[in-house]
Structure 1
């Protein structure tokens, strides 16, 4: 049985799903993972499809039955709530630094490959189009763990296009930013477990004001995913107790490459103008 989350499995099978099965997928993602903990009949009613359609989708995802799918969702709920202390290694033997490097090489390297290989092409294409072609302003924000990701993306995007602004993850800067948000804006929010109420509220408020919302999250999905125009997921499970953000950085780099390849002459002109303005460089 696959170790992927139910959300990952649905997104991986998206192209194989019938219209009715896609309705179930949409219903599940709109209230993930709680919607899947209903009975077959309850989920069918929520999605507006027949009970046999729910059963067929469950089998298509590789589960032996609805109870098997629900067991996976309950395990995901437990994983979402896990604190760093819960993930701390039980062993008292620290091992050698070289052994830790080897574990990280294997685990993190595999996680990066899985993130890039398993990326949802539809959502990635949509993100690239939104960030490369949208003429409106772009706001980028993150949480206590993911602020570094948000700063990195916003800094790189500013080199490639105008109108990009990083929003500090505090109430004041976010409230001020929301004052001007409209349907001309694109908002990018990073939110990884354990999910942060303030980030979810900011993203939800921006979407309510008409902004297009891009959400970067882990494979268990922030509640903000239900508001997203496009979703970019990557695992944050690492060999240690702390979140591993390397796969998320890899996803950002891949998207930046794709954005840079859209209208490369315009990107090159912008970088040339930046150099002419006398920006300090290390070389």
Structure 2
């Protein structure tokens, strides 16, 4: 199994810690700066079809990545797997985890842990998930996401799935106050098809897609990328299939105390992106916010 890490207590005075086993995608991104040029090619090959690409034999995978078999073995060892078989066992476990839904997770959820309350469990598990997400975020992908969403010369389309549409609406509503040209797309085929009519290479398309991944969202993102749009993907650590077409991937934990996906870490990453966007040009941002306030006061009785 890959190495785990111990997180600091989320709040002063707490003595609890929590360990988290990283996915292969997390391990690769966290060690991006340690990888050689050949190892970066391996990383890119895995992410193009994650996690299935890594389940081939060493020789077959080395051929796809354009490297030698010993380079693949050294790469997996650098990630913390003593053997390639253990590396593949982790990927197979992730394949199973990607398809797990609320019903399956409900059966493994500890609803009656003695000596704890729901609020205490949420404090520890959700708090640590947020800290973990922000602490281990990929700086390279985050910077790309900020550049692609904050650039006022690029129109931005933002959409999500049945549940993650709430994240998309939050980002769109907030980003609209900082810059022009931001549009929220309902997770409906008609709205997305109409948006594709005008989509060009000048567009940034922000998509939210979490396990179990939604076919319509992935299809829309793939078509948008095919028309030249730059995809900023918010997803979980197991990675939506849309990751292969994304210019920037913002992966967040979805682990929490209950059977439903915990999206609090995703909200935290959206807030971080908005902070970064607001700091790109404080003068224009402040003038736009002032204008927004003035218009709001004019329309409220």
Fold equivalence (TM over 0.5): yes
Residue among 134, 144, 151 paired with 1:133: 151
Q: How does 1:1-283 map to 2 (within 5 A)?
A: 1-2=3-4, 3-89=21-107, 94=112, 99-279=117-297
**Structure 1, unaligned runs of 5 or more:** none
Question: Aligned-residue CA RMSD in angstroms?
Answer: 1.9
Deviation at 1:183, TM superposition (A): 0.8
Deviation at 1:126, TM superposition (A): 1.1
Residue deviations 1:92-147, cap 9 Å, x none? 96579971111111000000001000000011111111222241210000001201
Aligned partners of 1:4 and 1:105: how far apart in 2? 21
Aligned partners of 1:93 and 1:134: how far apart in 2? 47
**Structure 2, unaligned runs of 5 or more:** 5-20
Deviation at 1:246, TM superposition (A): 0.2
Aligned partners of 1:113 and 1:94: how far apart in 2? 25
Asked if the contact 2:76/2:83 (under 8 Å) is kept, the reply is yes
Aligned partners of 2:107 and 2:57: how far apart in 1? 37
Moved more, 96-105 or 169-178: 96-105
TM-score (norm 2): 0.90
Divergent runs of 4+, >2 A: 89-98, 278-282
TM-score (norm 1): 0.96
